[in-house]
Amino acid sequence: MPTIHWFRRDLRLADNPALALAAKSATADGDVLGVFVLDPALLGPSGAPRLAVLFRTLRALDDQLGGRLVVRHGKPAVVLPKLAKEIAAESVHCAADFGPYGHRRDDEVAEALPVPLVHSGSAYAVDPGEVRKGNGTPFQVYSPFYRSWHDHGWSTPHRAPRVDWHGAESDPIPDDPRLPDGLDLPAVGEAAAKKAWKTFKDKGLRDYAGSRDRPDLDATSRMSVHLKWGTIHPRTLLADLGPADEVYRKELAWREFYADVLFHRPDSARAYYSADLKGLHYADGAELSARLSAWQHGQTGYPIVDAGMRQLLAEGWMHNRLRMIVASFLVKDLHVEWTHGARHFLAHLVDGDLASNNHGWQWVAGTGTDAAPYFRIFNPILQGKKFDPDGDYVRRWVPELNHLPSRVIHEPWSDPNGAPAGYPEPIVDHFAERDAALADYQRVKRSR
C-alpha cells in the first residue's frame, strides 16, 4: 500500500525527514504519493509576489517528481481523507507545523483521516518549544535563547530517499497571478536554493559579518525565500558553518526564536505581545491614509526610506537593515501603528513569514518580546550615511537623485539647488517627530 507525503513548507526532496519516513513506511518499497493542497485559508491573505513564487516552486518540484506531484484545491481536512481513500493509503506523512493556523488545521486533518497522520521534523533546526529556561518557561529574550538553542544542537542533514512516486488525478498548478510591471522575482526550487547557498558560501560568507548591514554591497545570502518555502532546510546551512561564521548562525537563530515566541504566544501573530504601548497616539483618517500611501510608494522625501520601499515593490524583498529603518520611520516618524506596516510587508514580500515579520515589526515598535526600547528611533539621514556611504543603494532605487553628490544624497534638500524636481520634500521633520514620539512615550509610561 502507498503512503502520502503532504508537502507544505518543505518543497524539496533532500533533508526531508517526513518524506524519508513516508518512503520507508510504504508497504511497496518507496511507493509514495506527493500532494500539495492549495488551501484557500492560506492563499487568500497571500500577495501576488508570494503566490507567484509558490506556484513556480511547485512547478520545479513537479519536474523533480517527473510530473507526478498531485495538486488539489480545498480544505485539507476534506481533500486529504478523500485522497487517502482514493489510493488506499496506509498513512499520511508531513512535517510538523507550529504556527497557530497550521496547528489547528493539522488537528482537523488528523481527526478526519481514516489513517494515521504522522509528523516528522519541521521547518526548523530545533522545533519550537524544545528550548526553555531552567524553570521550564519559554525564553523572552534572544541572547539566552540563542545560547540554549546552540547548546541543544540539531541533527545532521538527511539524504534524499529513494521514492517511487504514486500517481493520482491532479488539478493544474495555477498560472502566476498578475504581477506588477517590472517585478524581478528570484529563481526558486530546490536546485536554485542549493545553487544560491553554494554561491554565498563560496563568495560571501567570509565577509558577511563586516558587510551584512550594507545594502549597497549585496552582501547578504538572500536565502530567506528558500527557507520560507523549505526548498532548503536551515539544518543544511548550519552544517556548512564553522566557528568563524557565528554572525550568520545567529541570524538563522533569530528565525527560530520568533517561531518559538509565536508557538508559545499564538495571539501575538496579530496582537501586541506586550500591551504596554497600546495607548500611544497614532495617525488616523485622512492623515493615516496619506502618510501610509507615501511610505508604501517610496515618496516620503527621505532617500534611504524611499529606496527600501521601492526595492520591496520591485523585488518582493528588502535588505534587513532597510526593514528596520523603514519600520522605525513608519511607527516613530509617521506615527502609524505597526500593524499597517506588517500587513504591507506580508502582501509584498516573497519571503513573508508570519512569525519573523510580525515579531520583527513588534521589535521595532517596542511592543514585542526582546523589543528595542521605544526611545530607540532610527535617524534616516544618519542611517543612510552610515550604511550607504556613497549613495549607491539610493541611486539604484531613487533615480531622481542620481546626479547628486554623495555628501548630500541622503538629505537632498541641503543641496544648493534644492531637491530635484519630481522628488518630494520630506513628508515630516524627523527631529520634530522624534521629539513628539518620545513625549507620547513618556505620557504612556506615566499612565501605567
Measured on CA atoms in the order 68, 74, 76, 80, is the torsion positive or negative?
A: negative
**What pLDDT is recorded for position 375?**
75
**What pLDDT is recorded for position 444?**
87
Angle at 56 between CA 50 and CA 59, to 5 degrees: 145
Reduce the DSSP state of residue 31 to 3 states and report it.
Answer: strand
Please give the grid coordinates belonging to residue 247: 554572525
What global pTM score does this model have? 0.95
Task: Tell me the H-state helices in 92-153.
Answer: 100-112, 142-152
CB-CB contact of 278 with 272 (8 Å)? yes
Q: b vs e for 79-106, b when ≥16 Cβ sit within 10 Å of the residue's Cβ? A: bbbebbeebebbbbbbbbbbbbebeebb
**Residue closest to 223 by CA, chosen among 206, 207, 205:** 205
Q: Measured between alpha carbons, how far is 167 from 2 in angstroms, rounded to an integer?
A: 10
- Residue 394: what residue type? V
Please give the grid coordinates belonging to residue 82: 478523500
* Residue indicated by cell numbers 539604484: 396
Q: Measured between alpha carbons, how far is 143 from 250 in angstroms, rounded to an integer?
A: 9
Between the two ends of the chain, the Cα-to-Cα distance in Å is 63
- Residue 279: what residue type? G
422: left (phi over 0), alpha (psi -120 to 50) or beta: left
Q: Can you list the residues of the chain whose pLDDT is less than 70?
A: 29, 371-372, 448
Q: Measured between alpha carbons, how far is 175 from 159 in angstroms, rounded to an integer?
A: 32
**What pLDDT is recorded for position 371?**
63
153 phi, psi to nearest 5 deg: 80, 180
Could you report the per-residue pLDDT of 30-59, keeping only the tens digit for each? 799 999 999 999 998 889 999 999 999 999
Q: Measured between alpha carbons, how far is 241 from 248 in angstroms, rounded to an integer?
A: 8
C-alpha distances (whole Å) from 373 to each of 174, 179, 354, 367 are 44, 38, 22, 9
**Residue closest to 43 by CA, chosen among 35, 34, 52:** 52
For β-strands 3-7 and 92-94, DSSP reports them as parallel
**Residue closest to 123 by CA, chosen among 96, 162, 99, 86:** 96
**What pLDDT is recorded for position 448?**
67
Please give the grid coordinates belonging to residue 69: 506531484
CB-CB contact of 212 with 222 (8 Å)? no
CB-CB contact of 40 with 173 (8 Å)? no
Q: Measured between alpha carbons, how far is 49 from 316 in angstroms, rounded to an integer?
A: 6
**Residue closest to 215 by CA, chosen among 324, 89, 296:** 324
Query: Which domains are delineated in the chain?
Result: 3-122 (3.40.50.620), 129-156+192-264 (1.25.40.80), 275-447 (1.10.579.10)
**Residue closest to 169 by CA, chosen among 68, 38, 63:** 68
- Residue 75: what residue type? K
